[in-house]
Structure 1
Amino acid sequence: MTEPYELDVRPLLRNGGEPFGAIMGAVGNLAPGQGLRLLATFRPEPLFKVMEAKGFSYFAKPIEGGDWEVLFFPDDVGGTSPAALARDNDPDNWPDPTHYLDCTKMDPPEPMVHILGQLESMPKGQVLFALLGREPVFLFPELQARGHSWVGDFDADGAAFRLMVRAGGA
């Protein structure tokens, strides 16, 4: 398998530039079957649909400093490919949450303890929804280390952080 091509657009973004042209240029120069490892200052949601239309699935994860790493894999047939695993980690493909936790009135580390405890009792593939009073930055590495997939963001008011976690991610 060919190593993914790495493209770091963080410097361009930090200087106010638009990275779309550089990304599409890189995609156009990929070898057959080659993926793209993209480093960005934010989770590039609009790019996911563009890349899907070009035959790529993705796996996105936060990295240090609030930046994001996104691995784009060419789609193929077989179900056990990196692309298939990335599809499993796409929240659009997750089932509706089966467990709900309201952690808005809890102080750290209570939300982390409750969320990890609930996940321990959940079968692989089930989804937990949690509402928190702040972004759980110390929870994210724990979720990753335990093989769970997650997505989260603040609500429209910025008053609560909404978190969805899929138990036993790839």
Structure 2
Amino acid sequence: MPEIVTLDVRPIIAGGEEPFAAIISAADALAEGQVLRILAPFRPVPLFRVMERRGFAWEETALGAPDWQVDFHIPEQRLSDGSAMEAAGWAAPSVTLDLTGLEPPQPMMRILATTETLEPGGVLFALLDREPVFLFPQLKERGHQWAGNHDADGTGYRLLVRHG
């Protein structure tokens, strides 16, 4: 059972203050595996997108009008460092590449070549055997965004690339 760190923002809001700084400070102070529980006098919808960009997932519970409980946590399958946090809002991939079984640099070359054929904003999805760490600087240099993570059993890597 994860340790829960509770921040009740109801008194802060009742006092006429903005709780955003306190929430971000509490989120930044979380240790691995901890959950940040926010108690609020309303469903804090604007906070969801901010926390999502910071790598958090959440579960929300109505406590009875008007109070809400929202538990923020870092998912076990975190995106790799450098991933675009806004990837959840990208268009569905128009191209899927299964690059498993290919030796480097073939996966990188195919991803770069395919990305260049996409319209701006177009997205490709690739399955790989390993995290393509040498690809990421190449994508950045070309103005593209990416988001990736290891699959649940750790045997492969999933990658989204968005044409910049």
Gaps of 5+ in 1: 1-19, 31-37, 61-66, 71-85
User: Radius of gyration: which is bigger?
Assistant: 2
What's the TM-score once normalised by structure 1's chain length? 0.52
Q: Compared with structure 1, are the counterparts of its residues 55 and 137 closer, same or farther at alpha carbon in structure 2 (3 Å cutoff)?
A: closer
Kindly state the Cα deviation for residue 147 of structure 1 after the two structures are TM-superposed: 1.1
Provide the residue aligned with 1:160 in structure 2: 156
Q: Does 1:113 align with 2:98?
A: no
Gaps of 5+ in 2: 1-5, 8-18, 37-43, 56-79
What amino acid sits opposite 1:141 in the alignment? P
Q: Compared with structure 1, are the counterparts of its residues 99 and 91 closer, same or farther at alpha carbon in structure 2 (3 Å cutoff)?
A: same
Distance 1:102 1:136 in 2: 14
Identity %: 40
**Greater RCO structure (CA 8 Å; 6+ sep):** 2
3-state SS of 2:143 partner: coil
Superposed, 1:24-103 pairs within 5 Å as 27-28=21-22, 52-53=46-47, 56=50, 58=53, 68=81, 90-103=86-99
What's the TM-score once normalised by structure 2's chain length? 0.53
Kindly state the Cα deviation for residue 56 of structure 1 after the two structures are TM-superposed: 3.9
Q: Compared with structure 1, are the counterparts of its residues 106 and 55 closer, same or farther at alpha carbon in structure 2 (3 Å cutoff)?
A: closer
3-state SS of 1:135 partner: coil
> Are the counterparts in 1 of residues 125 and 159 from structure 2 also a CA contact under 8 Å?
yes
Q: Does 1:123 align with 2:119?
A: yes
Provide the residue aligned with 1:138 in structure 2: 134
Count of residue pairs the alignment pairs up: 113
What amino acid sits opposite 2:132 in the alignment? P
What amino acid sits opposite 2:47 in the alignment? A
Distance 2:140 2:54 in 1: 12
> Are the counterparts in 2 of residues 59 and 90 from structure 1 also a CA contact under 8 Å?
no
Q: Compared with structure 1, are the counterparts of its residues 59 and 114 closer, same or farther at alpha carbon in structure 2 (3 Å cutoff)?
A: farther
Q: Compared with structure 1, are the counterparts of its residues 27 and 105 closer, same or farther at alpha carbon in structure 2 (3 Å cutoff)?
A: same
Q: Give per-residue Cα distances to partners, 1:87-143, cap 9 Å, x unaligned.
A: xx6112111100011111111111000000001111011110000011100011111
